[in-house]
Each structure stands twice: as structure tokens, then as C-alpha cells.
Amino acid sequence: MTNKGFLSAEKDRGILMVLSGPSGVGKGTVCAALRQRSTNLVYSVSATTRAPRAGEVDGVNYFFKTKEQFQNMIAEGELLEWAEYVGNYYGTPRSFVEETLNAGNDIILEIEVQGALKVKQQFSEGVFIFLLPPSLEELQCRIENRGTETAEAIRRRMQAAAEEIAMSEHYDYFIVNDHVDLACDRIQAIRTAEHCRKERYIPKLKHWMQEVL
Ligand code: 5GP
């Protein structure tokens, strides 16, 4: 008997996780906390035409692009998905996602709902997580307290939030972001469970059975 059929989960293709949720729910904070905690969960850095907020760094938080540069990326097929959100374009660079998964690492995309649904068409095996606020009042407070938006932008973001929540039935898991550490624990628990899925093992067990029988 050979030992080439080791059940080594690390050598499998990585898991693609998508984290969505209304603006202000704390996706960015949760992702930042996850990045600090876990050395092997890779974060996909999106391209956007939105202006950087204070403290945001090009290449770390986003790749900040002009509209023309973004349109070129679309034309060259460089984006796995893209969407227009509250007047700006956002998109996920494709090659980085593919390379990360092929190297056996898990990747998390923090993106809005329309983009997530486009990813689902291409990665049906992806894991789709929707982050919820403890209440809508709390969500509005969080957006207002960020202090970066005009009253009109806040109104549009609350409207977008309602539209996003209406689409959340397409997601596999829901997490209430009542506490960042707990939200991270729940995402890690989902990730662990997804690594134990039968779909990841059955092809290998078939290979074992061929060797034994
Ligand atoms: P923000 O302007 O608050 O950073 O992001 C606005 C929304 O765009 C958020 O819901 C965020 O998750 C989403 N977003 C960020 N990057 C991407 C992306 O690459 N694709 C899509 N479709 N949405 C994104």
C-alpha cells in the first residue's frame, strides 16, 4: 500500500469565504480582527473608485483607482466581480483569489451583496456569511458615529442596507455583530466546520477504497 493518500487538509484547495452585511455593521473591523488573529486567512484587497478615508492605505485597505483605471480593469477581465455601490465602483481582483486558493490558503472577500451573488455563480462551493447589526437603530448610530458621511450619504447607505438585508436569504450563515471577538469566533467556527465537510473527504476516501479493495 502506498501512503500517497494522506488525509492532509492543508494541501487541499483553500476555502473562499464571502463576508457581506450592510454598511456600518462592522465588516471592516471584524475582518481586521480576523487578520490579526489568524496567520493563514488571507484577505482579498478590493479595487475601488471611492476616495480613501482618513487612515486608509492604498494596497492595504483598497487599491484606490480612478474611474478610467477601474474601467480598464473590467475591460481586461481582471475582476472576479464588480459592483456599483452608492455612486462608486468596487471590485475583486481575480488572479489573487485564484492564486491564494490554489496555494491551499483560505481567503475572505468583504464585499456587498450584488458582487457576492456574482461570486456565487462562479464559486458555488464558496461559503457566504452575512453580518447583521444587533438592531437597525444601532446600525444608523454606527454610520453616523463614523462621521465620514454627509446626511445624504447616510440616508443612501441606510437604504442600501435595507436592500442588502432583503437579499440576505442567498447566504449560508448569519452572524450578529454584537461583539467583534464573538463575531470572529463564529467565523472561525464556520471555517473549521467547512474544512470538515464531507465533500472535501469523499473523493479521497474513494481513492483509499480503490487501493484496499
Ligand atoms: P466602503 O465604502 O464602506 O468601504 O464599502 C462600501 C461597500 O462596498 C461595503 O459593503 C463593502 O463590503 C463593499 N465592497 C468592498 N469591496 C468590494 C468589492 O470588491 N466588490 C464588491 N462588490 N463590493 C465591495
- On whether residue 177 sits in a domain, the answer given is yes
Give residues with Cβ within 8 angstroms of 198, minimum separation 6.
none
pLDDT surpasses 80 at 68: yes
pLDDT surpasses 70 at 186: yes
Provide the pLDDT for residue 24: 86
pLDDT surpasses 60 at 10: no
Its domain, for residue 197, covers: 6-44+106-212
CB distance 27 to ligand 1 below 6 Å = yes
Q: Which helix (H) or strand (E) holds 161?
A: helix 151-166
Edge to edge, what strands does the sheet with 16-20 contain? 41-43, 106-110, 16-20, 127-132, 173-176
CB distance 194 to ligand 1 below 6 Å = no
Quote the mean pLDDT of the chain: 91
Give residues with Cβ within 8 angstroms of 102, minimum separation 6.
13, 14
Burial class (CB in 10 A: 0-12, 13-18, 19+), 176: middle
> Cα(176)–Cα(184) distance, rounded to whole angstroms?
11
- On whether residue 27 sits in a domain, the answer given is yes
- On whether residue 139 sits in a domain, the answer given is yes
Provide the pLDDT for residue 4: 56
pLDDT surpasses 60 at 189: yes
Q: How many residues does the chain have?
A: 213
- On whether residue 100 sits in a domain, the answer given is no
Q: Looking at the CA of residue 62, tell me the nearest atom of ligand 1.
A: 16
CA 126 / ligand 1 centre spacing (Å) = 18
> Cα(163)–Cα(180) distance, rounded to whole angstroms?
24
pLDDT surpasses 70 at 9: no
- On whether residue 158 sits in a domain, the answer given is yes
- The helix/strand/coil state of 128 is strand
CB distance 50 to ligand 1 below 6 Å = yes
Pick the range with the lowest mean pLDDT from 48-52, 116-120, 147-151.
Answer: 147-151
CB distance 110 to ligand 1 below 6 Å = yes
CB distance 177 to ligand 1 below 6 Å = no
| Phi, psi (deg, nearest 5) at residue 139 | -60, -50
- On whether residue 152 sits in a domain, the answer given is yes
CB distance 90 to ligand 1 below 6 Å = yes
Among candidates 48, 131, 41, 123, which has minimal Cα distance to 83? 48
The CATH number of residue 132's host domain is 3.40.50.300
- On whether residue 178 sits in a domain, the answer given is yes
Per the structure, the count of domains in the chain is: 1
pLDDT surpasses 80 at 3: no
Provide the pLDDT for residue 11: 62
Q: Looking at the CA of residue 22, tell me the nearest atom of ligand 1.
A: 10
Residue nearest to atom 20 of ligand 1 (CA): 91
